[in-house]
Amino acid sequence: MPDTPSIAPTPPASARRGVSAWWRALAIFLLVTLFIAWATSASMAEQLKAQIAHLQTKVAAVAQVQYLSVLLDDRHMPALLVTADTQGSVLQLQRLNEVREGREDSMQLWALDGDKPPRSLGVIASTYKTLQLPAPATALAGVQELAISVEDKGGAAEGRGPRLPYLFKGGLVKKAL
């Protein structure tokens, strides 16, 4: 017999040891995908936290109206809008009509509290549609109405009340925050 090379028997498929290259590639791919998904979600969570903090800062900086008054003229038409924010450092005034003071006159804002004497909140020195008057946080405490009078240039003298009748007058509303 001629010498024939011996062929080793091939083991059956179930007897093979090791994992297919395809399964290894799939496992590595899934691990990389899982890592990328985790990194993305962690990044998005940090971005969301940063956006929330930024928006909270913006909301805290926005003035919230605490007091509101619409002063009406003698025909009961809106003439002046007065608002005060929660910090209470200024009164915001917005003219709603075209009434202006004369050259020798000033308009003065008064706080009216029942039978107590009127208290001056300041002289309107600007002819612009919107303006601010400095006022302490306690300036409107207990006040029921606001009014505008026409006074001599520079406003009423200290200790002297307003000229009557009032040019504009309106109730003061304290907003629940």
Over the stretch 105-147, which tens digit does the pLDDT of each residue have?
888 899 898 888 888 888 887 777 888 888 887 888 888 999 9
Reduced to 3 states, what is the DSSP secondary structure of residue 165?
coil
Q: What distance in Å separates the CA atoms of residue 39 and residue 86, rounded to the nearest whole number?
A: 43
Reduced to 3 states, what is the DSSP secondary structure of residue 4?
coil
* Higher pLDDT among residues 14 and 30, named by residue: 30
Q: What is the mean pLDDT of residues 71-77?
A: 90
Q: Which of 69-83, 118-132, 146-160 has the highest mean pLDDT?
A: 69-83
> Per-residue pLDDT for 44 more than 80?
yes
pLDDT confidence of residue 128 = 78
Residue 152: pLDDT band (50, 70, 90) is confident
**What would the 3-class secondary structure string for 17-77 be?**
CCCCHHHHHHHHHHHHHHHHHHHHHHHHHHHHHHHHHHHHHHHHHCCCEEEEEEEECCCCC
Query: Is residue 175 a contact partner of residue 86, using CB atoms and an 8 Å limit?
Result: no
